[in-house]
Amino acid sequence: FLRSNQLGCEAGIKLISLLPHSAGASGKTLDGLFLNFINVFVSLVENVQPHQQIVLPGGWQQPDRTHICLYIIRNCGDDRFSFTVCNTGRDGLEYHPCKFDQSSGKQQRQLAMTIWDIPASRIRDSTFWVLLFRMQVYPHKKNNAEFLYTKLLPALNDRPLMSNLELGPSEFHAPPDPIAAATYID
């Protein structure tokens, strides 16, 4: 079990180095590198074995700022996958489920939010991955939490985002201090 998790983390580190923005390219060269990355990545996803997972670089770039998070895809078996967004930054947490701690009364958030019951055919389709990774490679003002959480994530299993709450385990934690969170990535 630990070996497969180690491989999933190592794959994530390798993917970070393969993302085209790491190469400092632009124009048609960047486009070619991006297309190559997507082809390699989709091939990798097609080979994720049941109960294996991969950690992915996540987030988005705008012209004046960047937001970083992590994604985890997991093959749950029976041709079903899950996709988790791990977000502790200042953008996007408003889309993560919250509750109040019964003993302290403080707000807690699901910092790792999972989309469950994703058909294998959907997770292996390059369309989703092009739209997701484009947000990291091509800076644009429309690359933001709203696009990720209201458009991309619900498309994975054709369900509203919050309908995933009862489909699998979840943990709630105190969200990071907003001032401290602002220094994580900018």
Pull the structure tokens for residue 106.
Answer: 């403080």
For position 149, what pLDDT does the model report?
Answer: 96
Chain mean position to CA 89: 13
Pull the structure tokens for residue 109.
Answer: 């958030």
pTM of the predicted protein model = 0.86
Contact 63/139 with Cβ under 8 angstroms? yes
For position 186, what pLDDT does the model report?
Answer: 46
Give the C-alpha distances (Å, rounded to integers) separating 85 from 12, 33, 56, 81, 106. Answer: 14, 25, 10, 14, 22
Q: What is the pLDDT of residues 14-46, one digit of tens each?
A: 777 777 875 567 788 889 999 999 999 999 999
Could you give the 3-state DSSP secondary structure of residue 1? coil
Q: What is the pLDDT of residues 69-89, one digit of tens each?
A: 999 999 999 999 999 999 988
The two most distant CA atoms of the chain are separated, in Å, by: 56
CA dist 25 and 12 (Å) reads 21
CA dist 76 and 99 (Å) reads 27
CA dist 90 and 67 (Å) reads 8
Rg of the chain, C-alpha, whole Å: 17
CA dist 10 and 160 (Å) reads 32
Residues of the chain with pLDDT under 50: 186
